[in-house]
Amino acid sequence: MTEPLVEIDGQALTIEDICQVARHACAFLLGDAPAFIERINKGAEFIETLLQEEGFVYGVTTGYGDSCTVSIPLENVNELPRHLYTFHGCGLGIHFDAQQTRAIMAVRLNSLAQGFSGVRYQLLQQITQLLHHDILPLIPQEGSVGASGDLTPLSYLAAVLAGERDVLYQSEKMAASAVFAQLQITPLTLKPKEGLAIMNGTAVMTALACLAYQRAAYLAQLATRITSLASIALNGNAYHFDEKLFAVKPHAGQIKVAACIRADLQITFDPPRNDTRLQDRYSLRCAPHVIGVLEDALPWFRQFIENELNSANDNPIIDAENGHVLHGGHFYGGHIAFAMDSMKTAVANLADLLDRQMAQLVDTKFNNGLPANLSGANSRQAMLNHGFKAVQIGVSAWTAEALKLTMPASVFSRSTECHNQDKVSMGTIAARDCLRIIELTEQVAAAMLVAVVQGVELRGNTAGLSAGLRITMAQVRAKIPFLESDRAMEQELRLCLQLIRERHWELYE
């Protein structure tokens, strides 16, 4: 099978392209067509011409932000980029992991490749070289307000391009200068506009948004499959997912979820008139209405994220073709902030849904005849064993933490930088919050998947399951055995969680 190729040449990339680069799941290269190289270099040449003819360009012969009224003598302009990334080297918190860092680098490279940032093709080559060698800047997660872009985190990329600060290389923390020397990579001396071009953009929040999107989309499918299994385990009314029912409230994502559950449950005929289970509790009956919100939101999340991904988002914009320097605010991360604040709420609702399903499964007052806590112990050992009692407590804790984090970050704008940045997006904080909520929801889903498979087996009607449900049951049992006697579940839950993040479980087309 041919390895997929992601080429950065100014053409539009997708969320999937960035995620493949982040996971080392594709071949990756920088376009080298003469027209592309010429278009990139033309911006840098235009900056040089302006310096020679006019001697004034924001961020080149001036200070940054509120310091734009401070003039920099021409003999000092080459020192300014180093000062920019140096004084922004104040990030704190844990570092972005390897996948996140590769995504950040690919997103920034793609933005610069649009040709409106006034950088040399050589700079794009340097970022590409780092990606090829997997030399990853150690970037602290905390310190960006999302306008003027992701300045502080991206300063770590700028510094590493110049051979400064620390990197992750071959799983070890090393000085960038030492790695460059080992691999005979020449540090890049940034040209006057290049420090600003690297740092003054939305690459961090957009990269995190790409990763969040893929994980959220998979969680929507996983929650759908879990709901199908829960309906069987709880002896639920399958006709809550009837096609005619959903035709009268035609949200496309909601209809999709109901159709998937309907196929899982093999419902192909009208409900019998003597059905005594008229209405299940909301966490079963309304599952398509909960999961469907995320499914319906995914297309516009994609639109927001991919528009940002394929944009020039620094300041000023360099239109070398028409000889303009355009001062604006494209570094503002409002669209990503809104998408991430919205996504985290939709995903947290999945955690809440699965938490409620788990509560039904373990409680004999609501589980329609299953053993307490889904215990698989025989009658002689039943009084000693507690089944999924503690797992359900964990699910409740993870859900509570996810729900707590849903407060929108974008409404907490702060005035910074001497009131020059007096309205900021908080997009990077929103994206980090979203990833944490996704992480917690994956934990809930991992626990619920193991529990609901046990519930279906305890119900004892596995022979008639649909093909999709049989595959899921078999995949889970291949990794995690039936819980008969009490055992510590941590490592099995961690394995299930890892398999979720690797999208191991086969779900829907």
pLDDT of residue 81: 85
Q: Which of 171, 201, 231 is the last residue of a domain?
A: 201
Considering the domain architecture, whether residues 144 and 21 belong to the same structural domain is answered as yes
Considering the domain architecture, whether residues 477 and 348 belong to the same structural domain is answered as yes
Considering the domain architecture, whether residues 286 and 417 belong to the same structural domain is answered as yes
Element (H, E) at 141: strand 140-142
For residue 308, being part of any structural domain is answered with: yes
Catalytic residue among 58, 218, 282, 508: 58
Considering the domain architecture, whether residues 173 and 94 belong to the same structural domain is answered as yes
Q: What is the DSSP letter of 271?
A: P
φ, ψ of residue 268 in degrees (nearest 5): -130, 5
pLDDT of residue 267: 76
pLDDT of residue 274: 47
For residue 317, being part of any structural domain is answered with: no
Considering the domain architecture, whether residues 91 and 185 belong to the same structural domain is answered as yes
Confidence class for position 73, pLDDT limits 50, 70, 90: low
Considering the domain architecture, whether residues 241 and 171 belong to the same structural domain is answered as no
Q: Return d(Cα 374, Cα 169) in angstroms, integer.
A: 46
pLDDT of residue 361: 98
What token pair was written down for 376? 């698989």
Q: Return d(Cα 455, Cα 190) in angstroms, integer.
A: 61
CATH code for position 474: 1.20.200.10
Q: Which of 182, 201, 220 is the last residue of a domain?
A: 201
Considering the domain architecture, whether residues 140 and 231 belong to the same structural domain is answered as no
Q: How much of the chain is in helix, strand and coil states, percent to nearest 5?
A: 55, 5, 35
Q: Based on C-alpha coordinates, what's the Rg of the chain? A: 26
pLDDT of residue 74: 65
What token pair was written down for 1? 């099978």
For residue 508, being part of any structural domain is answered with: no
Q: Which of 138, 168, 201 is the last residue of a domain?
A: 201
What token pair was written down for 496? 């299930």
Give the range of the structural domain holding residue 468, as residue numbers without chain letter: 209-312+332-501
Active site residue 213: no
Considering the domain architecture, whether residues 303 and 452 belong to the same structural domain is answered as yes
pLDDT of residue 32: 97
Residue 160 has pLDDT above 50, yes or no: yes
Q: How many independent structural domains does the chain possess?
A: 2
CA quadruple 495, 499, 500, 501: dihedral positive or negative?
positive
Mean pLDDT of the chain: 92
CB atoms within 10 A of CB 101: 27
Considering the domain architecture, whether residues 14 and 138 belong to the same structural domain is answered as yes
For residue 418, being part of any structural domain is answered with: yes
Considering the domain architecture, whether residues 173 and 294 belong to the same structural domain is answered as no
Considering the domain architecture, whether residues 148 and 274 belong to the same structural domain is answered as no
Confidence class for position 259, pLDDT limits 50, 70, 90: very high
pLDDT of residue 24: 94
CATH code for position 27: 1.10.275.10
For residue 321, being part of any structural domain is answered with: no
For residue 156, being part of any structural domain is answered with: yes
Q: What are the tens digits of pLDDT across the range 13-35?
A: 999 999 999 999 999 999 999 99
For residue 509, being part of any structural domain is answered with: no
Q: What are the tens digits of pLDDT across the range 317-346?
A: 999 999 888 888 899 899 999 999 999 999
Mean pLDDT value of segment 58-75: 58
Query: 147, 331 in Cβ contact below 8 A?
Result: yes
Considering the domain architecture, whether residues 275 and 379 belong to the same structural domain is answered as yes
pLDDT of residue 140: 98
pLDDT of residue 273: 47
93: left (phi over 0), alpha (psi -120 to 50) or beta: left
End-to-end CA distance of the chain: 20
Q: What are the tens digits of pLDDT across the range 76-100?
A: 677 888 988 999 999 999 999 999 9
For residue 320, being part of any structural domain is answered with: no
Q: What are the tens digits of pLDDT across the range 411-424?
A: 988 877 777 777 78
What token pair was written down for 319? 């239109």
Mean pLDDT value of segment 169-197: 96
Residue 272 has pLDDT above 60, yes or no: no
pTM: 0.94
